[in-house]
């Protein structure tokens, strides 16, 4: 979605006997939790959709969570955030504090959502039905699907633009033909891994982690001479409002950009795994690489105003411009593979979200459909959009508000529960979670409306469709006041939704848990 984006990998998870290749009925209360006989090894293509993972397949260890999250975030793209953070007008020290706090806290929130995956062994948007109801969940489900599609498209766009920039620097053709070819190849890589599913992705991420990690270190080593500490430290300090604005952008660009898929990768964990270990490994895996990369990006962007400006149109390509010619091909491979790694997580989960909305098709087909959408969207942005970062940041804030509200509700729900999920009821509107939980639905809508009123579209020329926001900023100085670009709405939506849910749904949750899970 900022932006939004495995091994030693888990021992092979025995898969159930694969169903026939045609579409199978959506899980029902009777079939969703049925255990399946174990096979000798995972099938090449993961057949599991949104149903609860069989007990025999929940063999992953907490530290296995490190690999998919680390691989998806050890990307040179993360360095681009150094430019975007400094664009808020803050100093290097302020920017460093903002980056470290925003990255770690946002991935910590992902870790809290991941607890639900361990407890319920189902995708995030299915487990969210416990808070919203089986049909009420479709409201945040649509927002989640749009966010995932946006993130994976953004990563694919970055890879395509980087390819063209590197080709041009090498004196190779870099026109329309190269852009189209790069789009198709990159989209094919993303879709293929996503269609194959969880087990393939885990193995793929384990390889990409070491490969891209090593090559990223090489990039950093080559560009250290480009850093001018005097110029970096000369950036003046910004106001409290500017610091908060940068913090919100970092949180939405990192952890909050992934939070709607956090439980998708913990659903293969054993039920007796410690909640604390789930949170810790999710947080370390997600934040370890970005924390280093963003600070390094701050040093590069703070040293060169020209580089900082170029990042807005071509984030990864701009970074390539400061490399020696011989390093461009390895850099391109690193950039593309790391961006593909992040997009694979997004498109895999967007397919699961599509199924959770009631689309009755096999999971591989859902991933393929999202892949077609990704390809079309990438072509449109690469060939027709006038700016990259403007619409992207506008998109982040707009969808970040309802997603933050949803996250606040689900985190409060997860922390309030004392028993395992009733897995059958997650698929039964007549079960204990009901069809629609109007408290959660109303809370999400209200928190989103309040949140949108406290953010503004800072890219009106590039994203005029977002100029309706900021209607509650009058008491804070209006759309041109100091608080206008602090993006308070994201934090307000998160905290408000959490607080309301924590107190308003206590009795509902206790009532749901009165009867033991069968």
Looking at residue 515, its pLDDT comes to: 79
* Phi and psi angles of residue 362, each rounded to the nearest 5 degrees, phi first: -65, 150
Specify the higher pLDDT residue, 235 or 189: 235
- 372: confidence class by pLDDT, cuts 50, 70, 90: confident
Coil, helix or strand at residue 269: strand
Domains of the chain: 55-388 (1.10.4160.10)
* Phi and psi angles of residue 269, each rounded to the nearest 5 degrees, phi first: -75, 150
* Phi and psi angles of residue 199, each rounded to the nearest 5 degrees, phi first: -65, -40
Question: Is pLDDT of 495 > 90?
Answer: yes
Looking at residue 42, its pLDDT comes to: 56
Q: Which residues contact 316 (CB under 8 A, 6 or more apart)?
A: 76, 77, 80, 158, 159, 161, 162, 165, 335, 339
Q: Give the least confident one: 38-42, 356-360, 432-436, 455-459.
A: 38-42
Looking at residue 195, its pLDDT comes to: 80
143-157, 165-179, 261-275 — most confident range:
261-275
| Type and span of the H or E element at 432 | none
66-80, 302-316, 502-516 — most confident range:
502-516
Q: Are the C-beta atoms of 297 and 311 separated by less than 8 Å? A: no
Alpha-carbon Rg for the chain in angstroms: 22
- 35: confidence class by pLDDT, cuts 50, 70, 90: very low
Rounded CA separation 110/117 (Å): 11
Question: Is pLDDT of 28 > 60?
Answer: no
12-26, 128-142, 150-164, 453-467 — most confident range:
128-142
pLDDT one-digit tens code per residue, 118-130? 998 889 999 999 9
Q: Are the C-beta atoms of 131 and 409 separated by less than 8 Å? A: yes
């Amino acid at each position: 979605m900022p932006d939004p984006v495995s091994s030693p990998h888990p021992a092979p998870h025995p898969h159930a006997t694969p169903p026939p290749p045609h579409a199978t009925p959506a899980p029902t209360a009777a079939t969703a939790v049925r255990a399946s006989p174990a096979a000798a090894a995972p099938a090449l293509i993961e057949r599991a959709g949104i149903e609860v993972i069989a007990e025999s397949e929940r063999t992953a260890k907490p530290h296995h969570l490190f690999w998919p999250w680390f691989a998806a975030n050890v990307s040179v793209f993360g360095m681009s955030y150094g430019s975007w953070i400094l664009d808020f007008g803050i100093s290097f020290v302020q920017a460093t504090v903002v980056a470290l706090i925003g990255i770690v806290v946002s991935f910590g929130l992902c870790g809290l959502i991941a607890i639900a995956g361990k407890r319920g062994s189902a995708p995030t948007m299915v487990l969210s039905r416990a808070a919203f109801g089986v049909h009420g969940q479709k409201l945040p489900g649509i927002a989640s699907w749009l966010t995932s599609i946006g993130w994976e498209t953004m990563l694919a766009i970055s890879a395509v633009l980087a390819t063209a920039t590197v080709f041009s620097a090498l004196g190779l053709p870099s026109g329309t033909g190269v852009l189209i070819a790069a789009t198709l190849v990159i989209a094919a890589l993303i879709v293929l891994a996503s269609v194959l599913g969880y087990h393939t992705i885990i193995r793929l991420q384990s390889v990409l982690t070491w490969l891209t990690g090593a090559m990223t270190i090489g990039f950093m080593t080559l560009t250290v001479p480009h850093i001018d500490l005097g110029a970096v430290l000369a950036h003046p300090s910004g106001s409290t409002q500017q610091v908060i604005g940068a913090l919100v952008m970092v949180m939405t660009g990192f952890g909050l950009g992934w939070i709607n898929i956090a439980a998708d990768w913990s659903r293969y964990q054993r039920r007796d795994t410690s909640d604390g270990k789930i949170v810790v490994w999710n947080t370390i895996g997600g934040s370890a690489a970005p924390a280093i990369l963003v600070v390094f990006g701050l040093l590069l962007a703070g040293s060169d105003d020209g580089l900082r400006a170029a990042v807005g149109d071509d984030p990864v390509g701009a970074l390539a411009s400061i490399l020696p010619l011989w390093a461009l091909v390895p850099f391109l491979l690193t950039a593309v593979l790391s961006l593909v790694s992040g997009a694979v997580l997004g498109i895999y989960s967007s397919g699961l979200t599509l199924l959770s909305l009631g689309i009755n098709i096999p999971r591989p087909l859902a991933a393929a459909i999202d892949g077609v959408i990704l390809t079309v969207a990438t072509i449109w942005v690469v060939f027709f959009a006038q700016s990259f970062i403007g619409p992207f940041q506008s998109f982040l804030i707009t969808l970040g508000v309802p997603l933050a509200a949803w996250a606040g509700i689900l985190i409060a729900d997860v922390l309030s529960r004392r028993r395992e999920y009733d897995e059958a009821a997650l698929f039964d509107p007549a079960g204990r979670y009901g069809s629609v939980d109007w408290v959660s639905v109303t809370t999400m809508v209200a928190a989103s409306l309040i949140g949108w009123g406290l953010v503004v579209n800072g890219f009106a020329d590039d994203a005029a469709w977002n100029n309706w926001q900021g209607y509650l900023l009058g008491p804070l100085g209006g759309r041109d006041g100091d608080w206008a670009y602090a993006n308070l709405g994201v934090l307000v939506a998160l905290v408000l939704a959490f607080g309301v849910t924590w107190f308003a749904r206590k009795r509902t949750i206790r009532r749901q848990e009165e009867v033991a899970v069968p």
